[in-house]
Structure 1
């Protein structure tokens, strides 16, 4: 009669555990409803502003538009590429993702048995005074075995729930890395255009200062011959020094903007090129906004919040499983012999099979507290997920409002600048013909300088709002 192998019951038990491990006590996950309106708020034209043109139905969305396609400036593309390689914040985000992936690999390994091969030797000596036969005894033993170390049979899905939670945490950090990448792309573009705007304003201020200095020198000569008053001289001096102070302030702001850009890029940079043209800003602003529900799939920060919610949901399953018995299995098969040469001879086989059942009886409320903690953390994750959606909705709505009004604001500011330039030209003609006073000319120069600076600022606001819309809609990964 064939002798039944003692390991067959263990293998059968492991197979049954594998079938039952699909059971889980985690709550069925349901995505919370988005706590926002079904559509973005409409922004009606105001103050004579024209309505935005209809977006083409087949226009590419932000998530389908790579940053190289969105930002046409070659120098800006180089800076963004360098930032994606060198930025320390993004590097930390990548390392956090690697950390979470390693943690998931460790946790998921608990779902499979750990097999170990062992080879050991033991020697001992028993003195005659304590020996049973009154003689010195010596013993020696060699063991070789293949062992299964304390493998938990996951009847109630505790290990599976912990593995699911670790996987969701890993996916959340990966989404966080993508969100950080989008943020770096947007921040580099905004810092670049800010530095270029300051450079343009500085050029205007320096040019204005040089022109006013020439006027001041000419007025000083006229005062010396009695052709102008000292009041005219001091008025010209005030305008000249005002332009000089503005130029110095803009030089400082430009240097600080360059430092901010250097920090984002992660290496020394030399900014050159020009501020984005109106045509480029128009192209950047022409993104279709879509619907709020589409943000759930577009924005990695929302997807990261949902993965954290799923991790919290899985941890509830692990906390519930802690109330039930835990079954673990330790087994080994091998050979034992008093001599190494006879270790694998016939009749030296050995085996062990140690199932263990642990049933919680009294834990001073620890398991209940752990379950309560898991449920509270899930509620926190739900609130965090809903807040992420609300923040995303607000960011898109703000960017759409800016897109509606800033285009007309730039047009109005350009009309002011052109009108001030023409006013100055006419007053200079009148002054040369003795009709207007020098104070009228000085006032026109001051107003023109202010209009030129305001136009640059309005164009910068429109460019940064287009970048904010691109970022808010989930673009920038490619």
Structure 2
């Protein structure tokens, strides 16, 4: 009972303020509109995308792509990130287990024998000099000790060492969760990007085949005209060289298709050749319906910024853990049990034994190790703050780069569309002239080839525009959805 006041005092001290600085979330500025923080030409600041006053989303309009995104749940990088998040939660549980009492039970039966020439014989000689040998003989007889009981201990978290440790572990778990979302975003964007590249390569293959057919018809016509003496061998040789050049583009397109198929197989955790059924379609899907939302929401959406902030929080809390190690540790201990020289004596009330009371551990001298640990944690916290600032700045630059690239590609697409319209009109005029007998077949075939080439450029631009839009999705942390 004499130790009770001290115990209660220690328990009251356990509610003391935690050591180290409290964490305050950093504030980052944001523009009102995306174009306010735009670098480069002013005309690239207008993307033509919907105004950012709606929730951010990117909705895809292709059922095949939606199925691939569903299969991407088996992605191995995604599974690795999920396991790391689960590990961070278990690490948090390990840290939190230091909070509160630790309980344990013990039991045992030990056979012992005292030494006849050990330190205990000095006590026998002092207590009974005349009968030392007899007393030593009794003491050295083997005997069995039976024990059973329980122990409890509780380290009072006076300076918040455990509380700060739990705070740091929670922040690390938050960083792991943000990294998991980052992997989910990256995998979804990569699946969509490779799918668009696959369809563009397949569509280009179809157009290249039509282009080759048109050149073959021109070559046959030139050969006929040469035999009739209406053309020379130079025209035929020129068309043969052009045909060889066009045929040389097909292997590159086949390679692009194979690489895109393999990339999709890898992203969905499948073996090469598992997605052969995707080789049939040759149409490029429409670009996603996209809304970027307000600029101020960007930093709250981006997982890398959230992870950097959580790491800053963890580094700040770790300073408190290191500072708490500078102060004494007080542990409350309770032990109770039974001890007897016979198994049947354990139920005897006189066999009981117990102890209760606090224990103190005070660091005095460690060659500056604990002070150095505090300074190290403070430097790590400063590094985490700089890393957060760098991540935020990089996020704004990545978004601006993605918006500029999209605006530039959109302008290029408009020019390719205009070229295709002009080439289509020229083809229609050539068809009319040929039907009326005003020209031979060659102008018609030339116009057809020009229209096909314009169509190929437009298809490439459409695929490139979709890829630029996916880059905006990634920069704005908007996951493509079916």
User: Aligning the two structures, in what range does the TM-score lie when normalised by the shorter sequence?
Assistant: 0.7 to 0.9
Secondary structure of 1:126's counterpart equals coil
Residue pairs, 1:192-341, within 5 angstroms: 192-267=195-270, 268-269=274-275, 270-271=277-278, 273=281, 275-277=283-285, 280-281=286-287, 284-285=289-290, 287-291=291-295, 293-341=296-344
Counterpart for residue 12 of structure 2: 16
- The C-alpha deviation readout for 1:408-447, integer Å capped at 9, x for no partner, is 4322211102212333554577689676996x77875665
Counterpart for residue 401 of structure 2: 398
CA distance in structure 2 between the partners assigned to 1:72 and 1:18 by the alignment:
59
CA RMSD between the two structures: 3.0
TM-score (norm 2): 0.85
- State yes or no: 1:177 paired with 2:166: no
CA distance in structure 1 between the partners assigned to 2:251 and 2:427 by the alignment:
25
Deviation of 1:405 after TM superposition, in Å, equals 4.2
- State yes or no: 1:142 paired with 2:139: no
Q: Which has the larger radius of gyration?
A: 2
CA contact (8 A) 1:178 1:477 kept: no
Counterpart for residue 35 of structure 2: 41
CA distance in structure 2 between the partners assigned to 1:127 and 1:25 by the alignment:
51
Residue pairs, 1:344-383, within 5 angstroms: 344-353=347-356, 355-383=358-386
CA distance in structure 1 between the partners assigned to 2:417 and 2:232 by the alignment:
35
Counterpart for residue 470 of structure 2: 467
CA contact (8 A) 1:417 1:451 kept: yes
CA contact (8 A) 2:215 2:449 kept: no
Counterpart for residue 77 of structure 1: 66
Counterpart for residue 132 of structure 2: none
Counterpart for residue 19 of structure 2: 25
Aligned length: 456
Residue pairs, 1:84-123, within 5 angstroms: 84=73, 86-123=74-111
Counterpart for residue 189 of structure 1: 192
CA contact (8 A) 1:284 1:466 kept: no
Secondary structure of 1:55's counterpart equals coil
Q: Which runs of 5+ in 2 are unaligned?
A: 125-134
CA distance in structure 1 between the partners assigned to 2:176 and 2:52 by the alignment:
35
- State yes or no: 1:409 paired with 2:403: no
324 and 254 in structure 1: CA distance in 2 versus 1, 3 angstrom threshold: same
- State yes or no: 1:125 paired with 2:132: no
252 and 127 in structure 1: CA distance in 2 versus 1, 3 angstrom threshold: closer
Deviation of 1:198 after TM superposition, in Å, equals 0.8
TM-score (norm 1): 0.86
194 and 129 in structure 1: CA distance in 2 versus 1, 3 angstrom threshold: closer
CA distance in structure 2 between the partners assigned to 1:257 and 1:129 by the alignment:
84
CA distance in structure 2 between the partners assigned to 1:442 and 1:365 by the alignment:
87
CA distance in structure 2 between the partners assigned to 1:375 and 1:428 by the alignment:
78
181 and 53 in structure 1: CA distance in 2 versus 1, 3 angstrom threshold: closer
Deviation of 1:155 after TM superposition, in Å, equals 0.7
274 and 297 in structure 1: CA distance in 2 versus 1, 3 angstrom threshold: farther
CA distance in structure 2 between the partners assigned to 1:54 and 1:264 by the alignment:
31
Deviation of 1:172 after TM superposition, in Å, equals 0.7
Deviation of 1:189 after TM superposition, in Å, equals 0.6
CA distance in structure 2 between the partners assigned to 1:127 and 1:463 by the alignment:
87
CA contact (8 A) 1:126 1:138 kept: yes
- The C-alpha deviation readout for 1:131-166, integer Å capped at 9, x for no partner, is 6414242322111111024x3221111121112111
